[in-house]
Amino acid sequence: MTAPRVDIDLAKVEHNARTLVEQLAPKGIRVTGVTKAALAAPSVANAMVRGGVVGLGDARIENLTRLKEGGFAVPITLVRSPMLSQVEMVVRTSDTSLNTEPAVLDALSAAAVAQRTRHAVILMVELGDLREGVSAEHLIHLAASVGRWPGLVLAGIGTNLACQSGIVPDQSKMDELSRLVEQVELACGHPLTIVSGGNSANLEWALTAEDVGRVDELRLGEAILLGVEPLHRRVLQGLHTDAFTLVGELIEVQHKPTQPWGALGQSAFGPPQPRAGTGTIRQGLVAVGRQDVDPDGLVPPDGTTIIGASSDHVVLDLGGHGSVGDELRFGLNYSALVRAMTSPFVAKTERPGPSGGMR
């Protein structure tokens, strides 16, 4: 089989989605499955839908187009504030988008009117992580004005924490969001249908909170795809962490000294990482590199150690394992997954889920 490749176990993606959907449902929280780390592969999105997510979200127009062409029955959300230059495509490919800028709302409305439709917006509020979002005061003001745009419907409000600065979405942040819902509903004169509390980093809170307040939706990517929460990268109970594996092929296996020799300059990617140890090792080269994956986010096979990487190689201490031509399987963290899925040099192969094949 071709290498390098990412093996995708769709049954595990489906299982992870279903487990989270079932854990959150009693709390009144629905799940939007975020597909961006899988480049919105229709089979992965389909596994999420089989698992019970009520919507799909992605950050890129190209991926939203793939979802649109997949013909999914669930609503599709752009989870990044639209580019002013892409509003027509946003309205064409998505039912809903996350927003913070009046100029963008104005253009979205015009695009929706031109396409004889109405586009739903979720206004994002800044609660301290310092990525997207308007201030609480600005939010009330903006919410009150959405009704004046003929092409728009105010579907709800949302926030995003943890991704930029690591700010924890805890009870106090979520209480703040719930309080804002009441103020926004007063200002706009109708109830909100979506209160989007955040991403996979919200799970620790959502699964243990006594009272989730008005939060009724989470946008989950990493937890579904990799089975971990992003705050401490702890494995979520009952979830698979190996729905995605990177497979690479060994192209050189040689006994070599542990330490390089000669005068020392920089390596291809800046100052070289010093190597530990003395003596010789069985060194292996795998034909996959920084251009394809984040080597720091790879988990090598048991009994082997990653000692370095360049554009086209991952270098391992193989111990007693592997010979030339063998395939090695690596676990992936979020960073490694995103890059591997995005590299045109990495093939993607899918094992279908039990309840249906690919679409």
Residue with tokens 């800046």: 270
| In the complex, residue closest to ligand PLP by CB | 221
Cβ 338 vs Cβ 290: under 8 Å: no
- CA-to-CA distance for 218 and 23, rounded, in angstroms? 12
* 354 backbone dihedrals φ, ψ, rounded to 5°: -65, -30
DSSP alpha helix (H) spans, the chain:
10-24, 42-50, 61-70, 87-93, 102-114, 136-146, 171-188, 203-208, 222-226, 334-342
Give, as ranges, the residues between 300 and 329 that touch ligand PLP (CB under 6 A): none
Q: Is 19 one of the binding residues for ligand PLP (CB under 6 A)? A: no
Part of the chain binding ligand PLP (CB under 6 A), chosen from 222-230, 246-254, 273-281, 324-332: 222-230
Residue with tokens 């819902």: 181
Q: Is 219 one of the binding residues for ligand PLP (CB under 6 A)? A: yes
CA 218 to chain centre: 13
Part of the chain binding ligand PLP (CB under 6 A), chosen from 41-49, 215-223, 253-261, 296-304: 215-223
Cβ 23 vs Cβ 207: under 8 Å: yes
Part of the chain binding ligand PLP (CB under 6 A), chosen from 41-49, 213-221, 235-243, 268-276: 213-221
* Cβ density class 325-335: b for 16+ within 10 Å, e for less: eeebebbbbbe
Q: Is 297 one of the binding residues for ligand PLP (CB under 6 A)? A: no
Nearer residue to ligand PLP within complex by CB, 98 or 127: 98
Give, as ranges, the residues between 42 and 101 that touch ligand PLP (CB under 6 A): 59, 79-80, 98
Q: Is 108 one of the binding residues for ligand PLP (CB under 6 A)? A: no
Part of the chain binding ligand PLP (CB under 6 A), chosen from 21-29, 176-184, 220-228, 255-263: 220-228
Q: Half-sphere exposure of residue 212, counting CA atoms within 13 Å on the CB side?
A: 22
Please report, for residues 259, 304, 306, the alpha-carbon distance to residue 276 in angstroms, rounded to integers and kept in the order given.
8, 15, 12
Nearer residue to ligand PLP within complex by CB, 45 or 328: 45
Q: Is 239 one of the binding residues for ligand PLP (CB under 6 A)? A: no
> Binding residues for ligand PLP, how many (CB under 6 A)?
15
Nearer residue to ligand PLP within complex by CB, 80 or 321: 80
Cβ 260 vs Cβ 281: under 8 Å: no
Nearer residue to ligand PLP within complex by CB, 243 or 253: 243
* 99 backbone dihedrals φ, ψ, rounded to 5°: -140, 155
Residue of 4, 10, 53 whose CA lies nearest to 243: 10
- CA-to-CA distance for 315 and 359, rounded, in angstroms? 37
**Site map 151..190 versus ligand PLP, x via CB under 6 A:** ---------x------------------------------
Q: Is 36 one of the binding residues for ligand PLP (CB under 6 A)? A: yes
Part of the chain binding ligand PLP (CB under 6 A), chosen from 39-47, 221-229, 254-262, 319-327: 221-229
Give, as ranges, the residues between 192 and 211 that touch ligand PLP (CB under 6 A): 199-200
Part of the chain binding ligand PLP (CB under 6 A), chosen from 66-74, 173-181, 214-222, 248-256: 214-222
- CA-to-CA distance for 340 and 245, rounded, in angstroms? 10
Q: Which residues bind ligand PLP (CB under 6 A)?
A: 34, 36, 59, 79-80, 98, 160, 199-200, 219-223, 230
